[in-house]
A and B are shown apart, each in its own frame.
Chain A
Amino acid sequence: MLDISNLSASIEGKKILKSFDLKIKPGEVHAIMGPNGSGKSTLANVLSGRKGYEIEGKAFYEGKNLLKIPIEERAQKGIFLAFQYPTEIPGVNTNNFLKTSLNTVRKFRGLKELDSLDFLKLVKEKSKKLKIEEKILSRQLNVGFSGGEKKKNEILQMSILEPKLAILDETDSGLDIDALKIVSEGVNSLRDKERSFLIITHYQRLLNYIKPDFVHVLVNGKIVKTGCSDLAEELEKDGYEGVATGK
């Protein structure tokens, strides 16, 4: 699904990711944990195509050079990034945006575009699962949403777009315990043997709810340790420093 090798990314001359390697197979859930400034968000940005980075190395998505695929095509081809800080866009109606997004993606995948009725039915069903109040969907996109509402809206978009590879960038930050559970259930319900996840987080907390197959520790732009889900608990106990240095 995703094959990253020797990937480096710099911004304004500062190297953030350094010879980064990662392989994700279909159906796998990988967690990347790391301290502040270790390069977690840069990884998410580079994979989703945000501009402003100088990139070296290789990244293949379904056998194609990911770095050459335009941003919107990455989304159309099934890559989804749940933003750490979802952007507020004044004047853009959330439902309209969701419908346009879904239909663009469906069209690309050769599926029939949904009409308003079918779309509303779908959104109703998905937002109910995530306990999202319907009225926020008729509001402006992310404008005036609480932290929790913004993150739930990201997961709602993910569940509507049904990506092949979902990247969750600190989706747990800013969520209370109840919201964290709901969001995790949303993610878990999407898990299947085809769909892969890359979960980026600071804390082990989220991984209590979403059990990853692999946990990677990212320090200073490089993966310093990889293990199974127990590694997350070890990190919680010993800290990044402890695990990274093996003390």
Chain B
Amino acid sequence: MNLDFEQFKKLNIGLKELDNIRTKSFNRFKNLGIPTKRQEHWKYTDLNKIITNNFDDLQIYEGKEKEEYNKNFLIEEFEHNKIILQNGNFIDSDLSFEDKKRVRVKSLKKILSDKNNFEKIKEYFTDEQNSMISLNHAFVNEGVILEVDQNYFFKKPLIIYNIFSQYSKNKIINNKVIIFLGENSNLTLVDFYRSENNIKYFHNTMHNYNINKNAVLKKFNINNHLNSSYNYNSTKIKSHENSVFENFLLSLGPNFIKNEIHCDLIENYSSCFVNAIMLLKDTQHHELKTNVNHKYENCKSSQLVKSVLLDDSNGTYQGKIYVDKNAQKTNGYQLSKAIILSEKSQFNSKPELEIYADDVKCSHGSTTGNIDENSIFYLMSRGLTKDQASKMIIEGFLNQVIETITEPSIRKLVFNLFSSRINSIKI
């Protein structure tokens, strides 16, 4: 990796305070280096090795974006609002279904040069959880901020298009997405990924969501197109009283992705639900890590993760539920199920419960196995070929996660993308 921090600083002279954060974060990254297997949280994903093996000369992305992008990447199945991020940069938005006085989309770049505005998002530059996040703080100069007033219900879903053009080739792209969802407001958000010509890049992104009292954020990560990208995606959520955060992840596309979801349930009756599908082939390597912190009473969380692994693929789910001593009446549930279809593929699962309160209901389960031979025989005895039978069983296995999606238009979209993938695989 070839990171010219001094050059970057010269090109991005701005607020003194931001400069200091960048320098501090870069030094922290330099000291720690890219995470390796030796770090507990990276036990199943040696990022240093992955980057060294796949990139000769990874450089900081410093392109100036034109406001043009490939319109073929847009979803046509249903009406929606759009935010376009190209190579991490905010280039366009279309919120024509919404009341623009109550929903504001801002370019992070503009905020970063404005002292008063920066003050409001400064806290999202202090996280020191790992060196990739420090790297993000050091080099981030683009992204998007979405502010939603209180009592505002989005009329249509919002899709954030993460588009990567040929200029992102061999680049590491650091950006941030920050969302403030006001009290009693409601947003359905799709994080959608597309890249041009199968280029190879590293996307190091951080999302921060602040979900206020009684607000509902339903988020969908859709990464279905097979591509040569490498991704680290860290999402941190602060959930206030009686708020709901739902996240569904369709993890099919990139060569490598590690998705981390950290949710702090900080007030009464807030809840967090994460459901995910991983369907991996070739040498794909995907990891999902969830970390739900029950910091207050009466909060609820659940995770359902189903994975199917073919060829030489590698999948991991690490799920932690932390229950603070104050968090009585916590309800926590976690289930991971994986089917391995090839001897060379592997799935790692690490459930973790850390409970300090005494009146809680928490459970977790994890199974990894082969496809059920009796089921295959049953279907074949009805005329289905082995291929048809296996696909039907896998589709059914994973479809149970899709059925948890409560937004009909998105459930249909996800189902279609997922079915076409199932049909294309060779078992």
CB of A31 within 8 A of chain B?
A: no
Q: Are A100 and B388 in contact (CB under 8 A)?
A: yes
Chain A hits for B375, CB < 8 A: 87, 89
Chain A hits for B15, CB < 8 A: none
CB distance from B335 to the nearest CB of A (A): 13
Interface hub of B379, B395, B398 (most chain A Cβ within 10 A): B379
User: In the complex, A133 Cα to B22 Cα: how many Å?
Assistant: 66
Q: Are A92 and B381 in contact (CB under 8 A)?
A: no
CB distance from B397 to the nearest CB of A (A): 5
Given A49-B381, A71-B381, A86-B378, A104-B392 contact (CB < 8 Å): no
Chain B hits for A100, CB < 8 A: 384, 388, 392
Q: Are A81 and B381 in contact (CB under 8 A)?
A: yes
Chain A hits for B400, CB < 8 A: 90-91
User: In the complex, A100 Cα to B395 Cα: how many Å?
Assistant: 14
CB distance from B418 to the nearest CB of A (A): 12
Q: Which residues in chain B, 345-397, are within 8 Å of chain A measured between CB atoms?
A: 372-375, 377-386, 388, 392-393, 395-397
Q: Mark B395-421, 1 if CB is under 8 A from A, else 0.
A: 111111000000000000000000000
Q: Are A75 and B380 in contact (CB under 8 A)?
A: yes
> Nearest CB to that of A108 among chain B residues?
B383
CB distance from B395 to the nearest CB of A (A): 7
Q: Are B393 and A92 in contact (CB under 8 A)?
A: yes
CB distance from B172 to the nearest CB of A (A): 39
Q: Which residues in chain A, 136-191, are within 8 Å of chain B measured between CB atoms?
A: 140-141, 157, 161
Q: Are B378 and A157 in contact (CB under 8 A)?
A: no
Partner of A72, one of B372, B383, B392, B398: B383
CB distance from A238 to the nearest CB of B (A): 35
CB distance from B5 to the nearest CB of A (A): 50
Q: Are A97 and B381 in contact (CB under 8 A)?
A: no
Chain B hits for A92, CB < 8 A: 392-393, 395-396
Q: Are B378 and A83 in contact (CB under 8 A)?
A: yes
Q: Mark A70-104, 1 if CB is under 8 A from B, else 0.
A: 01101110001101001101111100110011001
Chain A hits for B373, CB < 8 A: 51
Q: Residues of B within 8 Å of A, CB-based: how many? A: 23
Chain A hits for B393, CB < 8 A: 89, 91-92
CB distance from A173 to the nearest CB of B (A): 18
Q: Are A71 and B377 in contact (CB under 8 A)?
A: yes
Partner of B383, one of A90, A101, A140: A101
Q: Mark A47-67, 1 if CB is under 8 A from B, else 0.
A: 011110000000000000000
CB distance from B166 to the nearest CB of A (A): 40
CB distance from B339 to the nearest CB of A (A): 11
CB distance from B373 to the nearest CB of A (A): 8
Chain A hits for B388, CB < 8 A: 100, 104
Q: Are A72 and B399 in contact (CB under 8 A)?
A: no
CB distance from A3 to the nearest CB of B (A): 21
Q: Are B382 and A101 in contact (CB under 8 A)?
A: yes
CB distance from B383 to the nearest CB of A (A): 4
> Nearest CB to that of A106 among chain B residues?
B383
User: In the complex, A48 Cα to B265 Cα: how many Å?
Assistant: 55
Chain A hits for B381, CB < 8 A: 48-49, 71-72, 74-75, 80-81, 83
Chain A hits for B392, CB < 8 A: 89, 92, 96-97, 100
CB of A200 within 8 A of chain B?
A: no
Chain B hits for A141, CB < 8 A: 396
CB distance from A162 to the nearest CB of B (A): 12
User: In the complex, A50 Cα to B393 Cα: how many Å?
Assistant: 18
Q: Are B383 and A105 in contact (CB under 8 A)?
A: yes
Interface hub of A74, A96, A100, A105 (most chain B Cβ within 10 A): A100
Chain A hits for B399, CB < 8 A: 91
Partner of A161, one of B374, B383, B396: B383
CB distance from A152 to the nearest CB of B (A): 16
CB distance from B8 to the nearest CB of A (A): 49
User: In the complex, A89 Cα to B393 Cα: how many Å?
Assistant: 7
> Nearest CB to that of B306 among chain A residues?
A91
Q: Are A87 and B374 in contact (CB under 8 A)?
A: yes
User: In the complex, A93 Cα to B415 Cα: how many Å?
Assistant: 14
User: In the complex, A41 Cα to B37 Cα: how many Å?
Assistant: 52
Partner of A97, one of B372, B379, B385: B379
User: In the complex, A104 Cα to B381 Cα: how many Å?
Assistant: 12
Besides A89-B393, A108-B383, 7 other CB < 8 A contacts?
A72-B380, A81-B381, A87-B374, A97-B379, A101-B383, A105-B382, A157-B382
Chain A to chain B contacts (Cβ below 8 Å), 10 pairs: A49-B380, A72-B385, A75-B382, A76-B383, A87-B372, A87-B377, A89-B378, A91-B398, A101-B379, A141-B396
Interface residues, chain B, with chain A CB atoms under 8 Å away: 372-375, 377-386, 388, 392-393, 395-400
Which 7 A-B residue pairs are closest in the complex by CB-CB distance?
A91-B396, A92-B396, A75-B383, A87-B378, A101-B382, A71-B380, A105-B383
